[in-house]
């Protein structure tokens, strides 16, 4: 009995140690991080617009459980500007200072997926895993995109209209989409990048915009992430778990 109590106490202490630290914050940007596991790897997670709670989208650090990979840094676009409020080169330099030559992996969902691809060449990422990223939220590029109009209407100057120039040849990319009509417009825009050998795009059947949530319900989200950031083939992951893809 005493050993069980000691084990529980140790677990509680370990959980308390996992305290997210703030590296930088202003009205537009928040950079937070967790660096309690020694590793030569760092996961940079870009936050999405948030989850609705009482009519308000709440942003929080996503993919927290992936801290097992090593250091994890969260980049939050507090105004949901799709990076248009950012000085990307300056922020990327700050990320490099924080990571101290660690191997960088990127993950992001929706707006976070867009930002992950956008930043990838500036921080020399090894791999990028983007769940349902937008190709653009500019009405000049995709006139039908209105889902986040309450945020995008405040973007007065699109510094980064789309992701045409954002894919780096030395970075591996996996873009995961669901079977969603509005996301399909973006999915089709990304098809041109399949000519690059380092880009793969997977479209799941029986899912919608919330692909990460879909995989989590199947208890496959962590395996999906570990598979891509490891050395296994992503298509083998889909076949192994009988996931229907196009």
Q: What is the CATH number of the domain that holds 115?
A: 3.40.50.1820
Task: Please provide the DSSP assignment of 46-105 as one string.
Answer: E--S-EEETTEEEP----GGGGGGSEEEEEEETT--TTTT--HHHHHHHHHHHHTTPEEE
Instruction: Please report whether residue 2 resides in a domain.
Output: no
Using the predicted structure, report yes or no on whether residue 54 has a pLDDT greater than 80: no
Instruction: Please report whether residue 11 resides in a domain.
Output: no
Instruction: Please report whether residue 180 resides in a domain.
Output: yes
Work out how many domains the chain is built from and give that number: 1
Strands (E) in 113-224, as ranges, are 127-131, 172-177, 199-203
**The CA-based dihedral angle spanning residues 68, 238, 106, 168, taken in that order and rounded to the nearest 10 degrees:** 150
Instruction: Please report whether residue 15 resides in a domain.
Output: no
Q: What is the pLDDT of residues 178-226, one digit of tens each?
A: 999 999 999 999 999 999 999 999 999 989 999 989 998 999 888 888 8
**pTM, two decimal places:** 0.86
Q: What is the pLDDT of residues 63-107, one digit of tens each?
A: 766 656 789 999 999 999 999 999 999 999 999 999 988 999 999
- Domain with 217 in it: 20-51+61-240
Instruction: Please report whether residue 114 resides in a domain.
Output: yes
Instruction: Please report whether residue 4 resides in a domain.
Output: no
Count CA atoms within 13 Å of residue 240 on its CB side. 10
Distance between CA atoms of residues 212 and 43, nearest Å: 17
Instruction: Please report whether residue 10 resides in a domain.
Output: no
Instruction: Please report whether residue 1 resides in a domain.
Output: no
Give pLDDT, residue 235. 67
Bridge partners of residue 77, in order along the sequence? 29
């Amino acid at each position: 009995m005493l050993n069980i109590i000691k084990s529980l106490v140790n677990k509680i202490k370990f959980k308390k140690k996992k305290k997210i630290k703030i590296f930088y914050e202003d009205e537009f940007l928040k950079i937070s991080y967790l660096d309690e596991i020694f590793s030569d790897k760092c996961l940079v997670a870009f936050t999405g617009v948030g989850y609705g709670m009482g009519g308000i989208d709440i942003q929080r650090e996503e993919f927290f459980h992936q801290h097992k990979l090593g250091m994890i840094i969260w980049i939050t676009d507090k105004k949901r500007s799709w990076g248009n409020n950012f000085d990307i080169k300056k922020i990327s330099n700050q990320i490099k200072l924080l990571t101290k030559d660690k191997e960088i992996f990127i993950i992001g969902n929706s707006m976070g997926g867009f930002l992950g691809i956008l930043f990838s060449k500036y921080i020399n990422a090894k791999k990028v895993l983007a769940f349902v990223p937008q190709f653009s939220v500019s009405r000049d590029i995709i006139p039908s995109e209105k889902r986040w109009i309450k945020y995008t209407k405040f973007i007065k100057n699109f510094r980064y209209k789309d992701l045409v120039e954002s894919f780096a040849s030395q970075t591996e990319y996996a873009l995961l989409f669901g079977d969603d009509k509005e996301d399909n417009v973006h999915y089709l825009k990304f098809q041109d990048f399949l000519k690059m050998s380092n880009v793969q795009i997977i479209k799941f059947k029986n899912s919608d915009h919330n692909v990460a949530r879909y995989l989590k319900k199947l208890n496959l989200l962590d395996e999906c992430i570990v598979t891509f950031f490891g050395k296994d083939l992503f298509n083998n992951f889909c076949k192994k778990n009988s996931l229907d893809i196009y």
